[in-house]
A = this chain, B = another copy of it.
Amino acid sequence: MAHITIIGKGSMGDAIGGVFAAGGSDVNYVTRGDAGATISGDIVVLAVPYPEVDGILAAFGDQLAGKTVVDITNPLDFSTFDSLVVPADGSAAAEIQAKLPASHVLKAFNTTFAATLANRQLGGVPTTALVAGDDTDAKAALIAAITAGGVSALDAGALNRARELEAIGLLQLTLAVGEKIGWDTGFAVIR
């Protein structure tokens, strides 16, 4: 059983926590307003929009050393909805790893809308969470907790693959905003 703290309680935090809880993980939530809260999970999901990450790290970063930290963000330029605000040769996940050198940062859940996590499927195809990261054990533990909750999970490679996952996130968001796909559909992985 994994002990998981989810920071943030928006639709993504709810959906992710629901998957983990269904899989038997112990899940608790912390929000930015919980000043002084103890982060008890061994896996900590940053389920907040990208612009809030720095504030979360300022509030709780010293508690994240030694833990697995899951970045789910899509760092969009919301003024244009046409690009990311992170460097073209980097990623939000790489930035977070640089700020948390004692944590194992994983990228996950940025290519799955909340509804496809809650539904476990899109168009009848199982939802797949793509997980990238450099620490093999941390990645395996996250994948196990996700799959226990009824969502397929796939090791997408090292943390530098977060760049491609964030590209998929950007494209998928532009397609949803443009009503080419639904907020309960999008990219699926067929194996």
**Interface residues, chain A, CB within 8 Å of chain B?**
82-83, 87-89, 122-123, 125, 154-157, 160-161, 163-165, 167-168, 170-171, 174-175, 178, 180-182, 185-191
Contact = CB atoms under 8 A, between A and B. Distances in A.
B175 A186 contact: no
B189 A189 contact: no
A83 B160 CA distance: 9
**Chain copies in the assembled complex:** 2
A10 B168 CA distance: 27
B191 A180 contact: yes
Lowest 9 A-B CB distances belong to which pairs?
A167-B167, A123-B190, A88-B88, A88-B89, A164-B171, A164-B167, A185-B190, A122-B190, A188-B188
21 contacts: A87-B88, A88-B88, A122-B190, A125-B125, A125-B188, A154-B175, A156-B175, A156-B180, A157-B171, A157-B174, A157-B175, A164-B170, A165-B171, A167-B167, A168-B171, A180-B191, A181-B190, A185-B190, A187-B187, A187-B190, A188-B188
A188 B127 CA distance: 11
Interface class of chain A by DSSP: mixed
B171 A156 contact: yes
Nearest to A174: B157
A76 to B, nearest CB: 12
Contact of A82 (B160, B167, B175, B190): B160
Given A160-B82, A167-B163, A171-B168, A190 B125 contact: yes
Q: Choose among A156, A165, A175, A185 the residue with the greatest number of B CB atoms under 10 Å from its CB.
A: A175
A189 B190 contact: no
B191 A189 contact: no
Contacts of A82: 160
A172 to B, nearest CB: 9
